[in-house]
């Protein structure tokens, strides 16, 4: 029986791939269908998506939009679906079958989790050269070597989710698949790397802010981005890029003994990576970050819509929001200007840096999590444990 919310009447067989004989109107029709949900999809590859995705794929995505699935979750689903369809066409010559058979899932694992040493002596081990070349030509493969286990697991999880939304179960819980992944990961151990090699703690942040030393629009914007992203608990780059003025609420100033009151602001996060649509997570800014944000809004004359926007060559402020990747690029650019190694930092370093700094200052974990909005104590406490171990007696035996 179809699961709740699935799309009824979908055929559990794959569609034949588009060929030169496929009518142009089919691709154009799919492009138009994708345009209706462009606001929540990675549309820079719209034409390619229209060729890769089947009619049922597009209908499933539209259905998920209507059901209120989070924007970031839907973008990730679409990106992985496009990769899966491209891989399926390259590996089998056909679009993905629904439901996904166990043999195809095992083939996917074998193509993505493999031993480089064994592959060097056995071309049949791992991803076949023809499949690899096709995916590289399409821009789906860039790095060399097997995929990270986390990437493979995520794509399988999204594949499973799409199966369920179509009313099928697939073989994603099969013992053979779980065993194949476990054995493949064990055969080629990988050191888990943080998303940002180094955390952006207060000392690093001070160096980045020192490069924003003028009243130019670009300096005002970047200063506000860096300060807001850090002080609000290490907000994700998607949350910073998507921030809108309507999410900000002016709060009563905070009284400080012996000094002037500090401006205060509430940020209503709405739906985030770890919340549902019914929740309205709120974080608060006080003092310098609020002043930096107000200075940018006043200089850019922004009174509604997106808070952080692109700036043209001649100082023209765009009406469109920054792309999340631009937040990452801004941080790296500022790191380079500060004499730091850009490759060691990314936007996620602001998130890990906030918790690391909180641990270094002795702020209780629950209080820091209220601001960072981490739901996992295990994840958040890892930064505290690292900070504690570095400064603890056990690390200073000599």
Tens-binned pLDDT, residue by residue, of the chain (398 aa): 343 444 434 444 454 444 444 455 666 666 666 655 555 555 455 666 767 777 788 787 777 777 767 667 777 888 888 899 999 999 999 888 988 899 999 999 999 988 887 877 887 788 998 999 999 998 888 878 888 888 889 899 999 988 888 888 778 888 888 888 888 777 665 555 555 567 888 899 999 999 999 999 999 999 999 999 998 887 888 889 889 999 999 999 988 888 899 999 988 987 555 544 445 688 888 999 999 999 999 999 999 999 999 998 888 999 888 888 899 999 999 999 999 998 888 888 888 888 888 877 877 777 667 776 766 666 666 665 555 555 555 555 56
- Cβ proximity of 41 and 75 under 8 Å: yes
Task: Give the closest residue to 145 by CA, choosing from 195, 180, 190, 186.
Answer: 190
Query: Alpha carbon 128 to chain centroid distance?
Result: 29
First to last CA, the chain: 66
333: burial class by Cβ within 10 Å (0-12, 13-18, 19+)? middle
- Cβ proximity of 172 and 156 under 8 Å: yes
Q: Which helix (H) or strand (E) holds 104?
A: helix 102-112
**Separation of alpha carbons 80 and 297, rounded Å:** 36
> Token pair for residue 373?
């909005």
Query: Alpha carbon 378 to chain centroid distance?
Result: 20
Whether the CA torsion 110, 115, 116, 121 is positive or negative: it is: negative
DSSP per residue, 46-94: HHHHHHHS-HHHHHHHHHHHHTT--HHHHHHHHHHHHHHHHHHHHHHSS
**Separation of alpha carbons 365 and 358, rounded Å:** 8
Domains and CATH numbers, the chain: 24-187 (no CATH), 202-395 (1.10.443.10)
**Separation of alpha carbons 334 and 336, rounded Å:** 5
């Amino acid at each position: 029986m179809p699961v709740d919310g699935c799309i009824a009447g979908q055929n559990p067989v794959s569609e034949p791939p588009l060929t030169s004989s496929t009518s142009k109107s089919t691709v154009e029709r799919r492009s138009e269908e994708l345009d209706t949900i462009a606001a929540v999809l990675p549309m820079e590859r719209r034409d390619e998506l229209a060729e890769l995705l089947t009619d049922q794929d597009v209908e499933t995505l539209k259905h998920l939009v209507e059901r209120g699935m989070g924007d970031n979750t839907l973008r990730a689903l679409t990106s992985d679906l496009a990769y899966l369809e491209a891989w399926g066409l390259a590996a089998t010559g056909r679009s993905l079958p629904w439901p996904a058979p166990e043999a195809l899932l095992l083939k996917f694992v074998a193509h993505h989790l493999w031993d480089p040493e064994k592959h060097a002596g056995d071309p049949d081990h791992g991803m076949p050269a023809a499949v690899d070349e096709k995916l590289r030509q399409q821009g789906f493969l860039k790095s060399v070597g097997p995929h990270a286990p986390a990437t493979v697991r995520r794509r399988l999880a999204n594949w499973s989710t799409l199966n369920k939304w179509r009313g099928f179960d697939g073989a994603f819980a099969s013992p053979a698949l779980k065993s194949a992944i476990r054995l493949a990961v064990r055969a080629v151990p990988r050191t888990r790397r943080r998303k940002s090699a180094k955390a952006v703690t207060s000392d690093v942040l001070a160096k980045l802010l020192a490069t924003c030393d003028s009243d130019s629009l670009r300096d005002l914007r970047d200063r506000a981005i860096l300060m807001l992203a850090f002080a609000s608990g290490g907000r994700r780059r998607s949350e910073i890029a998507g921030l809108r003025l309507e999410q900000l609420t002016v709060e009563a100033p905070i009284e400080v003994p012996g000094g002037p009151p500090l401006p205060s602001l509430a940020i209503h996060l709405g739906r985030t990576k770890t919340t549902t649509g019914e929740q309205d997570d709120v974080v608060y800014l006080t003092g310098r970050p609020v002043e930096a944000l107000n200075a940018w809004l006043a200089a850019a004359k922004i009174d509604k819509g997106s808070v952080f926007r692109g700036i043209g060559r001649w100082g023209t402020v765009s009406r469109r929001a920054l792309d999340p990747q631009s937040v990452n690029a801004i941080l790296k650019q500022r790191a380079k200007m500060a004499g730091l190694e850009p490759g060691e930092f990314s936007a996620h370093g602001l998130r890990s840096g906030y918790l690391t700094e909180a641990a270094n200052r002795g702020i209780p974990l629950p209080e820091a999590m209220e601001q960072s909005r981490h739901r996992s104590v295990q994840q958040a406490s890892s930064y505290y444990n690292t900070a504690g171990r570095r400064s603890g007696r056990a690390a200073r035996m000599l």
